[in-house]
Structure 1
């Protein structure tokens, strides 16, 4: 059964590599076929390989995040649908927040919180978000409010991933944490390319970090149940 399930992982990597090659070569028409297949193959791998999570809120939340990510991928292929794509990814991050929250021991336990320590633990996340916004703020125009809302939510997604430290096994924590960080980096590169200064390497960097991010998050959540 495991050997059959891993076929989906091979398909995911195959489609991902093809999309990266098309991106690098500027073959946007071919990406209409490759990009929409990236997340479905990863989702299929997650569903068929996470039997231990069947029926749990974790599995439902991560599935929702992947479905919204797929919708965002499709919508962002059309420039005039950018705001809708942004909304889809906003929902994906909200779903990831829910998934990360429940994928830890005693997720809703209330204890003492050292806000100063918490601030410094999350400081790298805040700095990345602040620098990204500082660079793109002048080019946002009418999208300023939606982008700020999106930025706040993705920061919450990354800090929720960081919150899992010592509340799950180390493999699960680091895979999810690195994945969340790469997701932020991917979105930052995309935003800088769109609203600050475009550069030819942006496409491959955005997709490369995004693909690895999604893979690590899925693997990390699966590792939580092992």
Structure 2
């Protein structure tokens, strides 16, 4: 993992700042250029640092998650393509679930304790239920796709939490916080689109989303470093 790869993190950072700036100033047209660059920087960064293990399912699943997230970012630039963007992110979360399962020590796999896991994940379930309670009346024909999406993203966050003590602490916390921020970002999207929009929604959505993706990538990077 060479230092020169950090250039792609600068691309990510610059694109994120530019996108937030355009959003604040109301220059929405310019976001067609800035928003796609955000994830593109992370995709190239992760691709570079994982070249030596590029054939593994772990690498392919994380790259898949990033690429489908990138497609989702682009599709969501057009409101009429919302359902397609939702589908792209749903696939991204499935890829993350696979990646999170693989990014833990193989000797830590054991028979799950479903009762204990339920109580550990209860805050996630309650948060998702609360969001659904507010947005349900406004979903209309999108109710089934949104329910499917909620179930998958809850599974993604729960899988991130399940890595506790099954990988190095830095990897766990980065991935866990990143997954939680992703959940919060999507929750804000749901509230603003289907319940009540508010002026700060866009900034909160992109701020938490960009931070989430960065933390997840850095968390997987921490896991790869620990395995060397």
Q: Which runs of 4+ in 1 moved over 4 A?
A: none
TM-score (norm 1): 0.96
Shift of 1:114: 2.8
1:12–1:38 CA contact under 8 A, matched in 2: yes
Is contact 1:193–1:202 with CA below 8 Å preserved after alignment?
yes
| Aligned-partner Cα distance in 1 for 2:120–2:106 | 20
Deviation at 1:133, TM superposition (A): 0.5
The answer to whether residue 194 in structure 2 is matched with residue 204 in structure 1 is no
- 8 Å Cα contact 2:69-2:89 kept in structure 1: yes
User: Is 1:176 the counterpart of 2:175 in the alignment?
Assistant: yes
SS at match of 2:123: helix
Instruction: Judge conservation of contact 2:108–2:166 (CA < 8 Å) in 1.
Output: no
RMSD after superposition: 1.4
Counterparts of 2:172 and 2:28, CA distance in 1? 35
| 1:41-98 deviation line (CA, Å, top 9, x unaligned) | 1111111123453321111000000100010000000011110000000000000001
Q: Shift of residue 128 of structure 1?
A: 1.1
Q: What TM-score do the two structures reach when normalised by structure 2?
A: 0.95
CA distance in 2 between counterparts of 1:52 and 1:176 reads 22
Aligned counterpart, 1:82 = 82
Tell me the distance in 2 between the aligned counterparts of 1:121 and 1:74.
35
5+ residue gaps, structure 1, are none
Aligned to 1:44: 44
- Residue 101 of structure 2 corresponds to residue 101 of structure 1: yes
CA distance 1:107–1:23, shift in 2 (3 Å): farther
Distance 2:108 2:66 in 1: 24
Count of paired positions: 225
